[in-house]
Amino acid sequence: MGAVAVVGAGPTGTCLVERICANAPDLLRWPALDIHVIDPYPPGGGRVWRSDQPGLLWMNSTAADVTLFTDESVACAGPIVKGPSLAEWLGGDPGLFAPRPVQNAYLSYVFDRTVATAPRGVRIHVHAARAVSLADLPEGQRIGLDDGRVLDVDAVVLAQGHGDVTPARAEQEDAAFARRNGLLYLPTGYAADLPLDRVPAGQPVLVRGMGLAFVDLMVLLTAGRGGRFTREYDGELVYLPSGAEPLLHVGSRRGVPYHAKTGYTLAGGRPREPRFLTPGAPAELVRKELAFAYYRELITAHGERCKMRWAEFEDAYADLDWGSAEMRALIRRAVPKPADRLDFDRLDRPLHQIRFGDHAGLQRWMHGYLAADLRRRADPAHSADLALIYALISAHGVLTEPDPWFRSFFSYIASGPPGQRLEEMLALARAGVVTFLGAGTHVERRADGWRAVSRSVPGGVEAAALIDARLPAPSVSRATDPLIAGLYATGGCEEEAGLLKVRPEDRRLVGRDGAAHPRRFAFGPWVVAGRGTAGFARPGLNAPLFRGADALARTVLSEAVATEARRVA
């Protein structure tokens, strides 16, 4: 009998277990296989998508864009096993942004269905425990659990997903400063895990970060404290404070929040596979690929705003370098209005080189910026924006290890909150509950608290409370997961740019000596070249999550087959 273990029972681990089950009938040479799934949290949702989170916290993808089942678009060696997307499973609005407890129920359904439909002889064992140690056996691996049990298996896959890390030096210094001076500091982490009851009502609070973590924080500290949103007769959303909310002063490097999700579909047809990209493509080629998708949608779907047919534009575009004078001239000829052209710098840094005389001027600009973003994301005339998002998603699955610009731009453009959340942010800003600090926000320590300053406006804002509203950056060397920390301490794994290093072709774990371990694997967003497996797969887009999980499942099964053959020889 063979046995494999998957450490981590969240979406990544669940997808991997499903792919192991799907491929088992084709690859097994004996009638039985045990799959051990190890996670202290219930399988399916795991920790991040656990069911006990507030229903106020939503997914940031529509129900129609979430699935853990393969379809015909997935280019993999294993069999396609169809299943419902979240929208189909709910039988409701495909544009719904489901509460996280609802997503937990869907993920639990996927895991339970995988168990119930596992091929004959394949048994899935769930261990509600934490894996704490890993040791070599002559023909396998021994996993130690925190409840004292041990499991002997042929191969192990680390699929823990996003994990906690010990605070970085700057966070430790801020925490020590807060303790010495009787201040409040909340470090990076999931908003649902933070002690938000310590945040004082009616007092100014500085917040670093304007991404999705801030949106969750904003919701829990306003509507989560009894505030209400209502619509005026003219349709404007307004916020009615409860009096229990703090006054949030928020800033970031960019100074603006992520763009809202779009509320329309492509008019020019489904996006194509990347045309110019290779796994190690330089930044200029990435931009050329993204702009190619943008202009294809603009010209084919909104030709009345263009002066060139797509076939003519495509032929000329393919032969030119991005950023060259010839490329710029081609785009000017084809797209006469500057507002219709894709300007990466303007899009990426809307507050660059803008200065305001006071904070009131910055607030007026920000209110207009948010309102304009909401209008644009609801207007099908701007469907080229959605084509850009699809191109970003496709590129994310092709690039081996995207550079920092791409990762930041991807999150800013393609990973934003539902439009309603941005509308709520605007309502909170108009009510004076949220105040924007500007671009290049920097927080200084003062004797009696913190002071936030930015490049956008003179002066600063002082407060006795500071929150870092973002997730901690991955760091294998600072991981608190006992299994990863133990492996790193003994040289059993290596860190590369904060991520677990694996051999790219088969995801075998690489140790400090540079050797790939024959029986240890790692998969997910904390793994080198694994960022494309983060989040959820979109139906019909050949998701890298499925391609990677299927290939790894077949490798792990092959290792189990080889081990069993040696065992009976």
The answer as to whether 23 is a domain residue is yes
Residues 313 and 383 both lie in one domain: yes
Give the pLDDT mean for 219-240: 96
Residues 10 and 127 both lie in one domain: yes
Selection from 46-60, 273-287, 326-340 with the highest mean pLDDT: 326-340
Alpha-carbon distance of 550 to 74, in angstroms, equals 10
> Which of the four pLDDT bands, split at 50, 70 and 90, describes residue 274?
confident
Give the pLDDT mean for 549-557: 96
The answer as to whether 425 is a domain residue is no
Residues 339 and 357 both lie in one domain: yes
Residues 207 and 253 both lie in one domain: yes
Task: Give the end-to-end CA distance of the chain in Å, rounded to a whole number.
Answer: 14
Of all residues in the chain, the percent with pLDDT exceeding 70 is: 98
> Which of the four pLDDT bands, split at 50, 70 and 90, describes residue 28?
confident
The answer as to whether 502 is a domain residue is yes
The answer as to whether 106 is a domain residue is yes
Residues 294 and 244 both lie in one domain: no
Give the pLDDT mean for 78-105: 95
Give the pLDDT mean for 73-91: 96
pLDDT over 90 (residue 477) = yes
> Which of the four pLDDT bands, split at 50, 70 and 90, describes residue 7?
very high
The answer as to whether 68 is a domain residue is no
Residues 228 and 361 both lie in one domain: no
Residues 532 and 400 both lie in one domain: no
The answer as to whether 20 is a domain residue is yes
pLDDT over 70 (residue 100) = yes
Residues 153 and 22 both lie in one domain: yes
> Which of the four pLDDT bands, split at 50, 70 and 90, describes residue 568?
low
Give the pLDDT mean for 550-565: 88
Q: Who wins on pLDDT, 565 or 169?
A: 169
Residues 239 and 211 both lie in one domain: yes
Q: How many domains does the chain have?
A: 3
Residues 288 and 210 both lie in one domain: no
Give the model's pLDDT for residue 37: 98
The answer as to whether 227 is a domain residue is yes
Report whether 217 contacts 186 (CB < 8 A): no
Among candidate residues 27, 21, 34, 28, the one with its CA nearest the CA of residue 111: 21
43-74 residue pLDDT tens: 999 999 999 999 999 999 999 999 999 999 99
8 contacts: CB under 8 Å, gap ≥ 6: 38, 39, 46, 158, 159, 160, 161, 524
Residues 437 and 402 both lie in one domain: no
Q: Average per-residue pLDDT in the chain? A: 94
Residues 207 and 156 both lie in one domain: no
Structural domain boundaries enclosing 289: 283-414
pTM of whole model > 0.85? yes
